[in-house]
Chains A and B, each alone.
Chain A
C-alpha cells in the first residue's frame, strides 16, 4: 500500500502543519482587517466558519491599514476559487496533529509530555467544532411579571411559516427556513434570483428573493416604483451607524420579497417580509390563513423563566449604574424555584447559562415598564478550552521537567513526580479557595 503510506506521510508531515498554520495566520490577519468594514459576524463567517474563501476585499484591507492615505485603490476585490477557509484548515490541522502528533510520534517515555499536550490541542480544536455546530446564543427579553421559555438568536435569521388556527388554544407550530438558505439571494434591482421552498403541508410554494441584510419597507409615494407591493417597496439601506461606522449585525434589520405560488392554480401572492415590521405577512389559501415572518431564530428553553422583580444599584451620589439584578422564578413542570441573576453571576441550569445582559428601568426609555434582557448561552463544549489549556500545561511541564532532569543527570521520574505533586497541591489550594 505505498499510496496510503505516502498519503499518511503527507497528512502527518511538518510541512503540512507549517502550511496550515501559516494559512491560519494569514486568514486571521485578513479577517481582522476586513472586520473594520464588514463587522465581526460577517468577517468571522467568511474567514473562519466557511470551508472555502470566496474572495478577499483587498480594498477594505488596504483602507484598514490606513494605506489609502498614500494611494486609494478603490473597491478592489480578489475573487478566489479553491482557497481553504479557517474551518477547513482547522480540520486539516486536526488530522495532521492526529496523524503526526498522536499516531506517528515515537512512543517512548521521553515523549509522554508531548503526547499529552498534542491530545489536549486536539481537544481544543474539537471544542471549537462542537461550539460552532451546537452552541446557541441569544436573548430573552422579559418585562416584570412576564414569563418566557424561548430565546432569540443574536445573528441567525429565519423565515417562519405558520398555519393560523381559528382555535386560540390550539398547539402552534411553524415551518422554518434558515437564512443560510436565502441570504445569498441579494440583488441590485429587479434581476435578482430567487429560491423556491416547498413542503407537503403547504398549499403553496414559497419563493424568496431580493434579500437585503439591512432594509426598510418604504411607501411608494408617487406610484412610480415597479417593484412596489401593496403600496410599499423594500429599500436596502447602508449598514452604517450614526457615526459612519459599520453597523453591528445585531442592529441590522433584514428584509426580502416573498412570493406564494398556489400549487393548484399557480396564482401568486407577493409580500414584503422584514424584521422592521409589527406583524407578519398574511397569505390566504382557500379558507386557510398563513402567516409568514422574517425574524431571528428562536430556540426553546427546557424550563420557563418569570421575571419577578428588577433592581438597579447606583454608585453612591451618582446616577451611574453599579449593578443590575433580576429576581426570577424558574418553572419546571409545575415546580417553582427562586433564583437571582445579576451582572457576572449567571444562573446555570440544564446546560444553559443565563446572564444579565441589559436593563431598562422604564424611565430612560419612557415606557414606564421595567425590563431585563437575559443573554442565554448553551455551549456543550463551554469548559473544554479551559480543560485543554490545563492539560497542555501539564504535558509541557512533564516534558520540560524530564528534559531538565536528563540535562542535570537527575532521575527524570522523580522530577516528574515532584512537578505533578506541585500541580496537585496548587489545584488543591484553588479548590479550597473556591469552596
Chain B
C-alpha cells in the first residue's frame, strides 16, 4: 500500500468537491443590458396569444388525429404513428406505456385479441366467450367495453425476453367497421399507482367534432 496516503488525499478531495450542492434558495447574481435593437417589451399579453392559441376552438393536438383526449399529469406524449394514434409513457424511467390503436373491421374478433394480450403476459389458457362476457366493463368512446387486468411476465411484439412482474390493463371496443384498443403495461406497482390516471384518460377520449 505504498500509495495509501496520497490516494486517501485524492479521495478526500473528490468527496469534498462532490458535496458542493446547490442551495434551494439563491441570490440572482447575473445581469445584462438589453440592446437598443431588441424588440420592445410586450406586457399583459393573454395566455392564448402567448401560446399561439388565438383560434379559440382550434386544438393543439395534431390536426390529423380524429381523437381528442386529456393526457394525465406527469405522462409524456410520444409522437403519434400509423399504429398508435395516441402514445404515452410514464414512470421514473418511462417504463410505463399506454397507447390507443385502431384497426379496420373486427381485427380478428374480441376473444382472439383479449387472448393475444393474455398470451403476451404469459397466460397459457385462453378465455372462453362466457368468461369474456363476465369481464368488468368500462365506457370507451361512449360504449361499454370489456376491461382486462392481468399480471404476469410481459413479452411484447418483437421482444426477445419477457419483462417480469408486469401488469396489463386493456380495453377493446369492437364495432363492425372499426376496433379500438387501449392498452397500458408496466411494472405492477407503477400500474397500480397510475390506474386512476388510466381510467381518467379513457374517460376523456372523444371523437373530434363530437365533443
Residues of chain A at the chain B interface (Cβ within 8 Å)? 3, 6-7, 9-11, 51-52, 68-72, 74-75, 77, 81-82, 84, 88, 146-150, 161-162, 164, 168, 171-178, 181, 184, 187-190, 193-199, 202, 216-219, 221-222, 224-227, 229-233, 235-238, 240, 242, 244, 272, 274, 276-282, 289, 291, 298, 300, 304
Q: Does B24 contact A (CB under 8 A)?
A: yes
Which 6 pairs across A and B sit closest by C-beta, in order of nearness? A189-B74, A172-B34, A10-B6, A279-B45, A176-B30, A217-B51
Complex: A289 Cα to B44 Cα, angstroms: 9
Q: Which residue of A lies closest to B56 (CB)?
A: A219
Q: Can you spell out 27 A-B residue pairs with CB atoms less than 8 angstroms apart?
A: A72-B159, A75-B93, A82-B11, A82-B14, A88-B14, A146-B37, A150-B38, A164-B43, A172-B38, A172-B41, A173-B31, A173-B32, A177-B30, A197-B28, A219-B59, A219-B60, A221-B68, A221-B211, A233-B73, A235-B71, A281-B50, A282-B43, A282-B44, A282-B45, A289-B43, A291-B42, A300-B35
Q: How large is the interface on B (under 10, 10 to 19, 20 to 34, 35 or more residues)?
A: 35 or more
Q: Which residues of A contact B94 (CB under 8 A)?
A: 75
With A162-B34, A173-B31, A173-B32 known as contacts, the answer to whether A195 contacts B24 (CB < 8 A) is yes
A11 touches which one: B6, B11, B79 (CB < 8 A)? B6
Q: Which residues of A contact B48 (CB under 8 A)?
A: 219, 231
Q: Does B143 contact A (CB under 8 A)?
A: no
Tell whether, in the assembled complex, residue A237 and residue B77 are in contact, meaning their CB atoms are under 8 Å apart.
yes
Q: Which residues of B contact A195 (CB under 8 A)?
A: 22, 24-26
Complex: A289 Cα to B41 Cα, angstroms: 11
Complex: A251 Cα to B47 Cα, angstroms: 23
Residues of chain B at the chain A interface (Cβ within 8 Å)? 2-3, 5-7, 9-11, 14-15, 17-18, 22, 24-28, 30-35, 37-38, 40-45, 47-53, 59-60, 68, 70-71, 73-74, 76-79, 89-95, 159-161, 163, 200, 204, 211
Complex: A11 Cα to B6 Cα, angstroms: 8
Tell whether, in the assembled complex, residue A196 and residue B28 are in contact, meaning their CB atoms are under 8 Å apart.
no
Tell whether, in the assembled complex, residue A224 and residue B60 are in contact, meaning their CB atoms are under 8 Å apart.
no
Q: Which residues of A contact B92 (CB under 8 A)?
A: 188
Q: Which residues of A contact B14 (CB under 8 A)?
A: 52, 82, 84, 88
Complex: A221 Cα to B59 Cα, angstroms: 9
Complex: A72 Cα to B155 Cα, angstroms: 10
With A75-B93, A199-B27, A225-B70 known as contacts, the answer to whether A300 contacts B76 (CB < 8 A) is no
Q: Which residues of A contact B38 (CB under 8 A)?
A: 150, 172
> B162 to nearest A CB, angstroms?
10
A279 touches which one: B17, B33, B49 (CB < 8 A)? B49
* Given A71-B161, A197-B26, A289-B43, 11 new contacts (CB under 8 A): A6-B2, A68-B160, A74-B163, A82-B18, A88-B14, A161-B28, A184-B22, A219-B53, A236-B76, A277-B50, A282-B45
Complex: A69 Cα to B159 Cα, angstroms: 8
Tell whether, in the assembled complex, residue A304 and residue B37 are in contact, meaning their CB atoms are under 8 Å apart.
yes
Q: Which residues of B contact A178 (CB under 8 A)?
A: 30
With A74-B163, A148-B37, A280-B42 known as contacts, the answer to whether A188 contacts B28 (CB < 8 A) is no
Q: Which residue of A lies closest to B155 (CB)?
A: A72
> A263 to nearest B CB, angstroms?
13
Q: Which residue of B lies closest to A222 (CB)?
A: B70
Q: Which residues of B contact A84 (CB under 8 A)?
A: 14
Complex: A193 Cα to B23 Cα, angstroms: 12
Complex: A230 Cα to B53 Cα, angstroms: 13
